[in-house]
């Protein structure tokens, strides 16, 4: 079961719809992407209790290129060099989405903001007391060399880059994490 509100920020849960079906009684069911383990989980919810939102944004994390590519209406608008997971704690690949945008206190590791993803680490069951959740976040008090593979699985960005991303990206935006830029 997915909570109506997100656990960190308390904002209303947003789930990407990837299909729909109408039951014999006429009820519309939505096939949605689900956060958490196992990665790539999907489920069904009734449409009656939902509000429709539309996004024209899409984020692609290219692990080989160690970059985040931001698309709007299918066109590349920004590309950022990033830090990705090291070989022992790799960034998981697959189709995910932004669960919530978390403003972190000044000086907090990973600040100033984190986009918490529906992805979970394939290696770490927990991390810093949390569920091993993967995020795109800043480098504050963590460091890392942009273009390197040295995180615990999260994607780290320079402060101006994560600030820009957080200003444009809302919960529900799809995130594709792929091994290389080749499709």
Residue 34 is assigned to a structural domain of this protein: no
How many domains are contained in the chain? 1
C-beta separation of 4 from 21 below 8 A: no
Instruction: Provide DSSP, 3-44.
Output: -SB-TTT-PBP---EEEEEE-TTS-EEEEEE--SSSTT-EEE
**Confidence check: pLDDT of 128 > 80:** no
Residue 79 is assigned to a structural domain of this protein: yes
Range of the domain at 119: 57-178
Terminal C-alpha separation, the chain: 33
**Confidence check: pLDDT of 129 > 80:** no
Residue 7 is assigned to a structural domain of this protein: no
Residue 14 is assigned to a structural domain of this protein: no
CATH number of 161's domain = 2.40.440.10
Residue 148 is assigned to a structural domain of this protein: yes
Residue 107 is assigned to a structural domain of this protein: yes
Residue 82, H or E segment:
none
For residue range 28-80, list pLDDT tens digits in order: 999 999 998 999 999 998 888 788 888 899 999 999 999 999 999 999 999 99
Mean per-residue pLDDT for 82-93? 95
Q: In the structure, what pLDDT confidence band is assigned to residue 102 with cuts at 50, 70 and 90?
A: confident
Cβ atoms within 10 Å of 124's Cβ, excluding its own: 18
What is the predicted pLDDT for the residue at 182? 53
For residue range 136-151, list pLDDT tens digits in order: 999 887 878 999 999 9
Q: What does pTM read for this prediction?
A: 0.89
């Amino acid at each position: 079961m997915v909570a109506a509100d997100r656990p960190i920020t308390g904002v209303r849960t947003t789930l990407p719809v990837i299909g729909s079906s109408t039951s014999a009684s006429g009820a519309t069911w939505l096939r949605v992407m689900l956060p958490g383990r196992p990665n790539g989980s999907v489920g069904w919810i009734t449409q009656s209790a939902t509000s429709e939102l539309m996004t024209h944004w899409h984020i692609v994390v290219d692990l080989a290129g160690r970059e985040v590519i931001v698309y709007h209406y299918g066109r590349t608008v920004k590309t950022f060099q990033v830090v990705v997971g090291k070989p022992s704690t790799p960034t998981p690949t697959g189709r995910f989405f932004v669960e919530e945008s978390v403003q972190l206190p000044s000086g907090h590791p990973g600040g100033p903001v984190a986009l918490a993803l529906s992805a979970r680490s394939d290696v770490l069951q927990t991390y810093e007391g949390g569920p091993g959740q993967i995020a795109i976040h800043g480098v504050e008090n963590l460091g890392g060399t942009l273009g390197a593979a040295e995180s615990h699985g999260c994607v780290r960005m320079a402060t101006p880059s994560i600030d820009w991303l957080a200003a444009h990206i809302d919960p529900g935006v799809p995130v594709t994490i792929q091994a290389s830029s080749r499709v």
